[in-house]
Each structure stands twice: as C-alpha cells, then as structure tokens.
Amino acid sequence: MLIKKLDLEAIESAQHKHPHSILGMHPLREGGVVVRAFLQNAMSCEVIDFTSAPEKRYPMQRLSENGLFEVVIADKNSVFPYRLRLEQYNGEIRQCYDPYSFLPTLSDEDLHLFNEGKHHRAYSKLGSRICEINGVSGVAFAVWAPSARRVSLVGDFNQWDGHYLPMRLMGSSGIWELFVPGLERGMKYKYEIWGAHEELLLKSDPYAIYFEGAPNNASIIWDIEDFDWKDFGWLDHRSRTNWRQEPMSIYEMHLGSWKRKADDGDRPLTYRELAHELIDYLKEMGYTHVELMPVAEHPFSGSWGYQVTGFFAPTHRFGTPQDFMYFVDQLHRHGIGVIVDWVPAHFPKDAFALARFDGTALYEHADPRQGEHQDWGTLIFNYDRHEVRNFLIGSALSWFDRFHIDGIRVDAVASMLYLDYSRTDGNWVPNQYGGRENIGAIDFLRSTNDLIHHYYPGAVTIAEESTAFGRVSHPTSDYGLGFDFKWNMGWMHDVLEFFKKDPVHRKHHHSQLTFGMLYQYSEHFISVFSHDEVVHGKGSMMMKMGSWHMSEKAATLRALYTYMWMWPGKNTLFMGSDFGQSIEWCYDRCLEWHLLQYMDHEGIRRAVRDLNHLYREHRSIAANDYNPDGFQWINSDDWEHSIISFLRIGKHSGETLFIVGNFTPVQRDNYRFGLPHHGTWKEIFNSNASEYGGSNIGNKGAIATEALSWNGRPYSATLTLPPLSTAIFKFEP
C-alpha cells in the first residue's frame, strides 16, 4: 500500500480537498504508475489497458471495506488510457472509465475571466455539460463554492452518497470541477458541500438548465443542442428593427393560469399546447409581443415565479427546455416577439438553492442591512462581487442565446437602485460616498444592458422602475442606465385613480389625466396596466371603474383603453384585462373566458383588438411615440365636463389623429374643438360603437371643419360626444 494513512482516511471520510492528487493514475518517482479508485458497491476491480493487443488487466488491491482500491503497474512508466473493470456485490460485472483520469474541462482563461467577472458565457462552462473528452462521452460538472472544504457530486448514479465523486478545486478560482464518463441526459444530481463552518449542505446547481419539481428540486442533466430552430427570418428582422419607432403592443401573461385543462385534473397547458392556442389569440388581437411573467425555475407557484432558484432554466411545470424553445420558435414564426420577466433583484432563502451556498454569504451580502429584503423575506445579490455579476449577466444573456427571446423586463429595479429601499434609518449602509444609491447595482444594470445590445441587436430591455431615478431609459454613453424602455408607473397610478372616481367627482381630479405630460418625454415610457394592479384586493380593471352598473363600467374601461392606446409610448396590458375579467387574477385559476358570451366583456375585447390593429396600421404615429412634436393638446382644461382632447401627429397631415374623451355619463352635443387642418376628419374609432356594446351615438362617421378659429387653431368643428367614451378621428386631406 503506497497511499498514506492520512490520505486514505481523508478519501474515505470525504474530507480530501484534492481527490485528483490521490485517485486516478499517477507516475511514480521510482518508475511505474499507481492507480487508485474509490468505488461504490465494488467487490473487486481491475485496471484494463485497452490500448494493448491483447488488452492487459491489472488486478487492484482492496485497501478498505468502503471500496478504496490501489495497484502499482511497474511495466508502465507514463500514464496511459485505461478503464476499470468492476465486479459488484450483486454479481454484476461492468467496465467504465475512471472520472479521475481526465484533465480539467476549464481552461486557465475561463477561470481568469470568471473571477474578473468578464466571462460573459460562463453558463457554457459551469453547471453540467454533456460532452465528449478524448472520445469518451460523459458529463462535465463545475460549480463555484470558494469557501467550501469539499464538494461532491451526488445523484441517481451514486445513490446520493457524497463519498464517491468528490470534485477538484481549480486553484484559487473557487470553482470545483469533475468530468464523469457514462452519465446521461435525464439523470438527477446535486452538489454535496462540506461548508466553511463544517456544515453539510445539499445544493442544486445554480447553472442548471432543467430541474425536477418540489419537494426534491434536484437539477437534471440536460442537453439543448438538438433543437432545430426555424426562426432565423424573425431574428434577422429583429436585428434591423428599432422598436422605439415601431408599434409595440405587449400582452402580459402568466403561463399557468391563462387557460387550463379542466378535463385533465385542471392542469395548466404545456409550452407546446400554449404555443398554438396563444398564437391564434395574439394574432387576432393584434399584439406585437407577449411578455411572460417569470418562467425561470421557482419552487413556490404562489410567488408567481418572482422567487427564482433556477436562473438559467425554464420551469419544469410546462415541459422541457426544448418544449420552451418550441414555444418561442412558433411565436417567432408567426411574427410575435417574446419578452420574459427577469428577476436579478433578489432570491429566496430556500436551503437547496443559492442562500449561503458554500456555508458563507456567497451570492448575497453578509450584512443583513445590505443582504436581506425587508418586504419580501428574500436575499439581495452582492452586485459588487465579480462572480455574482458574472452569474447574473450570464443568466440574462443565456435566455437570448439559448432560447432566442427578444427582450427582458427587469423586475423591481427601484429596489436595486437604492440602498435604503423600504428601510428605516439605521437599517441600511451608505455607499462609499455617503449616499443612498447602490453603485454596484447601477454598474451591473448598465453592463447588462450594454452587453445585451452588443450581442443581440434589436433585443429590448424594459425597467420596472417606480421612482424618479434619472435617465433609466437613456444610453449608458449618455449617463443613463441603458434600458430601452421604462414602465410608466406614475401615469398608471394617476389615470387609474381618476377612472376609479365616481364620474360626478372626476372634475376635481382632472389634473391626473394631464400631469403625466410634464415628464412624458423624460424617458421612453411604456403605458402599462400589469398583473400588480389586479391582485391583493385591488380589484380587476373592470371592477375598478367608478360606475355603478356593469354596462357603464364596461363603457368606462373601453374609454380608458382608447385613451391609453393613443397616449404617446408603447402599451402593455395584462391578460384578462383585455376582456374585462370581473374577478381579480389568481395564479392557480383559469381566466374567466366564459364571460365573452356577454357583450360587456366581448365588446371590451373587440375594442382592444381594433385599437391594436389601428395602432399598427398608423406606423408613423408609433414612430413619433417619443418625439415631443408628435403630440399636441387641443383642450386639456375642461375639467368641469371631464372632457379632454389632443392630437397625435405623424409625418404629414394625412397621418394626424384627433382624440377626444368624454369621461362622464352625460352626452355633449355641438361641442366645438379647434383643429389644425381644414377639411374632413373621419371617425375611425368610437369606443361607444354598438359593435363594442355601446349605444352607437357618434358623428355619422366624419366631421367637417369650419374656418372658425378655436382653441388656438385656425379651424374648428362641432362634435357629438357620447357618454363615457373616447373617439379617434383621422384627417382626410
């Protein structure tokens, strides 16, 4: 026996930090080589030199009851390819390659770039990778755990026993690595980590692309290289598209509750089932994009996906990674973009995931004043740590790279930007300049946006940012955060508060309709009514409307949506809201599709459909969404009657739209408005039309101007304004 007693005991007790220095084949100073193997359930073992003809066998000496074997091969002076021939206690005989006979699968450059935070595709090297080394098929594993005393691979293939596949630490990088021959797609695994404080941890793979469900939450070996993408025409079109100058109408949805299979245990639709049903709906409705609430893996469905444990993996709930690829591919082939919600602001405390990953605060801050989120009971990423930034940037890039998505909406940006977000005095740590801004998070967001735009031209990034932080949607070269768009939370809150009021009181809140124009062009805004507005007792969009009868609520909601679609900027609307669902959204219950048999609801759906198509047809209006010259008030001051009017201006007079809203239940006749062009203005949309469930009061399809100045305009016309309505007129030269 050549192995030292201390090494033998360390291997057997799974406490050896450098198992590759003991196990595998090693040349001896005095000549020959020594081979050691630590094998589970093996009664005997031989080393097979399969390069010899005939092949040679070298019986190994059993050194311990737990399966440590050793042999000195005196007739070989250098290492050579070999296999192990095992006879197991159950009588089975098998041959396998030795995991400890392979060189590392990561290069020095990989390690250097990772520790610098500049390995933009670290996800292609860490995690589990099905690959072939020296003609041998297997799986390469790599995980970052710098403070761990030992990391072992455990799974279906070794009865989850951490003694038998300890990993090697790659220098000072903090990365542990192992290539295991013979493992296959579909096998479950985790990392058993002997932590910094001698605690034994069982962790899923932070870089895994597929997981099993709760309660085990194991990572699954998977390969995604076999999918046959057919969306290259879409990707080419996207790379040449500036979405700020194109119509964007976004349908926000939660995959698990859009539709469900009531006849199959009330289960949600799979990715593949969703693809076909959703495409039909989106195309009819005229949406340009779908935005998915988080589809990254998460253990608790009640978090709606916002407490992520698998930052690189589509959730198993609806199928495999290939099924998600199919979903995206099909949407692209029908001209629909895919945006996903991405959550780099925090992560849950689940013991199997990122929290105290190697026994220390690795991904999070150690100081709870920096590392714990007060509102959500979650942990906050340490954005100042290079490897954490690498992890998060890699997560974002991987969704574009692997799954061909078209954009991300970054959740809870405000909580990232401020060190004192939702914290009382004394419970937060100022930055190095004594301020409240999280400089590390700001730098991380800027880097992420720049890299996405660099690698994926035409991709969009959207910020959910609820404060007045400056230049969120401006380029980093212009001192911005680099997002393409920002959700307009202020406009949303103001407008909703106005429409919640009983019509008799709206005149006292008229400024809530107009205030948003004061800051409208400070950012590239998306007007949005999201899932957050229809949960937690806030009521559905329909039931928010400040009228007593359902027909008046429906009319008010149609008027609101028309106002929203004509307001400058792009639009996002949550599922169910586009047909006036009555109840609040619930994550484990299907939308109320049966309501479409009633005109109050079907009329709202038709109105949203026609607004989408109208917006897409008038492309020069969309092109001016962020140009102040593309908007003019006609009359913003008639608070007494809750009437508001404005122009959306295209490239020439024939692309000018006149929008007028009457937000009381009183019909106004012969109401005069000033207009910039003389001639006929065609009524191209009226939210009070009978096809939408309205009374069909209107202006008989058109109005004609007179040479009478009004509202500071050289011409004017009188209109009939239906109650609780918004109408759109187009100038006909």
Q: Which residues are catalytically annotated?
A: 411, 464
Closest to 297 in 3D by CA, of 273, 322, 321, 267: 321
Looking at residue 654, what is its pLDDT? 82
Average pLDDT over every residue of 389-410:
98
Please determine, for residue 718, whether its predicted confidence score (pLDDT) is greater than 90.
yes
In this structure, what token pair is assigned to residue 313?
A: 């993996």
Element (H, E) at 635: strand 631-635
DSSP 5-60: HHHHHHHHTT--S-GGGTSEEEE-TTSSEEEEEE-TTEEEEEEEETTSSS-EEEEP
Looking at residue 1, what is its pLDDT? 75
Looking at residue 652, what is its pLDDT? 82
In this structure, what token pair is assigned to residue 290?
A: 């779908």
Looking at residue 248, what is its pLDDT? 98
Matching residue, tokens 């940037």: 393
pLDDT in tens, 267-302: 999 999 999 999 999 999 999 999 999 999 999 999
**CB within 8 Å of 260: residues ≥ 6 apart:** 266, 267, 268, 269, 589, 590
pLDDT in tens, 610-665: 999 999 999 999 999 999 999 999 999 999 999 999 999 998 878 999 999 999 99
Under 8 Å between Cβ of 705 and 659: no
In this structure, what token pair is assigned to residue 170?
A: 């790659």
Mean residue pLDDT of the chain comes to 96
- CA 200-176-299 angle, to 5 degrees, is 55
List domains and CATH numbers for the chain.
5-101 (2.60.40.10), 108-220 (2.60.40.10), 628-732 (2.60.40.1180)
DSSP 237: H
* Burial group, residue 731, by CB count within 10 angstroms (0-12, 13-18, 19+): buried
pLDDT in tens, 58-107: 999 999 999 999 999 999 989 999 999 999 988 899 999 999 999 999 99
pLDDT in tens, 590-613: 999 999 999 999 999 999 999 999
**What is the rounded CA–CA span in Å between residue 540 and residue 580?**
8
- CA 609-613-619 angle, to 5 degrees, is 150
In this structure, what token pair is assigned to residue 62?
A: 């059993």
Q: How many CB atoms lie within 10 A of CB 83?
A: 19
> Cis ω on the peptide bond leading into residue 54 (within 30° of 0)?
yes
Looking at residue 651, what is its pLDDT? 83
Per-residue pLDDT band for 564 (boundaries 50, 70, 90) equals very high
Residues facing residue 136 across a β-bridge: 133
Under 8 Å between Cβ of 47 and 60: yes
**What is the rounded CA–CA span in Å between residue 597 and residue 504?**
31
Please determine, for residue 308, whether its predicted confidence score (pLDDT) is greater than 80.
yes
Looking at residue 2, what is its pLDDT? 85
CA–CA distances in Å: residue 555 to residues 573, 660, 686, 692: 17, 15, 11, 9
Average pLDDT over every residue of 367-375:
91
DSSP 86-111: EEETTS-EEEE--GGGS--SS-HHHH
For the chain, state the CA radius of gyration.
31
- CA 636-638-641 angle, to 5 degrees, is 135
In this structure, what token pair is assigned to residue 532?
A: 């957050």
Residues facing residue 95 across a β-bridge: 85
Please determine, for residue 17, whether its predicted confidence score (pLDDT) is greater than 90.
no
Q: Please say whether the dihedral angle defined by the alpha carbons of residues 357, 362, 368 and 371, taken in this order, is positive or negative.
A: negative
Average pLDDT over every residue of 180-209:
96
**Whole-number percent of the chain with pLDDT over 70:** 100
In this structure, what token pair is assigned to residue 320?
A: 């495999």
**What is the rounded CA–CA span in Å between residue 694 and residue 602?**
12
- Does the reported pTM lie above 0.75? yes
Per-residue pLDDT band for 490 (boundaries 50, 70, 90) equals very high
Looking at residue 531, what is its pLDDT? 97
Please determine, for residue 374, whether its predicted confidence score (pLDDT) is greater than 90.
no
